[in-house]
Amino acid sequence: MSSSEHISRQFDADLEAIRANVLQMGGLVEGQIKSAVESLVSGNVALMTKVIAEDHRVNAMEVKIDEACSQVIARRQPAAGDLRLVMAVIKTITDLERIGDEAEKIARMAKLLSQKQNPTIPRYQEIKHAAELALDMLRKSLDSFARLDVVMAAQVVRQDDQVDDEFRAIMRYLITFMMEDPRTISTSLEILFVAKAIERIGDHAKNMAEYVIYMVKGRDVRHITVDEIDKEIQQ
């Protein structure tokens, strides 16, 4: 094997290791969201504490992958598709880290709610449904990243409207709840913070899907309509 072939193979191995680490980080973040929402619905304080404590692992993975990307840029000077992959990874891990922060926020709010004396708790069913939608977006974003599937990535971008609609419905419901009984204002606001965190998870998953389209197509689709994205991926 010539030295250039060896370097090329090593470069491919470096990129593959980075991709694998992103998916591992994604799995960790997905678990954090699931546990945070489960702890909220069940009132499991030990699980809330675990989610808060585990956030440092997400942060550490972001730093590790960021460092690996910096090393690849410095040593390999990637171009074209390889450079787009590295740039997309750097952006993706930032969004994953922020999703991890939102999961921690949900766990912290769950802890506050669990400490209330005889709280009048509105139904959590809507929160759970919104979280399932946001989790589905995250899973599809990670799948589209793994498979370089722009069609699936476009589906995620389209799905974001559903999560936004759920958030608005929860907000309307909570406002009505607070108007009917002012004693529920504190509890309702905390639940609203949870709903907002879930809506932000959807936003970050949408961002990740847009990076996949950029990585594959070389086109920045962050500020164009869903219909324009559909046209772009069909070209």
How many angstroms separate the Cα of 201 from the Cα of each of 13, 102, 150, 159, 208? 31, 7, 20, 12, 11
pTM as predicted: 0.91
Q: What is the mean pLDDT of residues 125-145?
A: 96
Whether 3 shows a pLDDT value over 80: the answer reads no
E strand or H helix at 34? helix 3-42
Gyration radius of the chain over CA positions: 20
Strands, E assignment, the chain: none
User: CA-to-CA distance for 157 and 152, rounded, in angstroms?
Assistant: 9
pLDDT reading at 6 higher than 70: no
Tell me the pLDDT band of 2, cut-offs 50, 70 and 90. low
pLDDT of residue 7: 67
- CATH number of the CATH domain containing 98: 1.20.58.220
Mean pLDDT, the chain, rounded, equals 90
How far apart (Å, rounded) are the C-alpha atoms in residues 168 and 188?
A: 14
Domain of residue 146: give its range. 3-234
Q: What is the mean pLDDT of residues 213-228?
A: 78
28-47 average pLDDT score:
96
Distance between CA atoms of residues 184 and 178, nearest Å:
6
Whether 133 shows a pLDDT value over 90: the answer reads yes
How many domains would you assign to the chain?
1
Write down the residue that tokens 């370089």 correspond to.
148
Distance CA 190, CA 9 (A): 52
For residue 118, pLDDT over 60 is answered with no
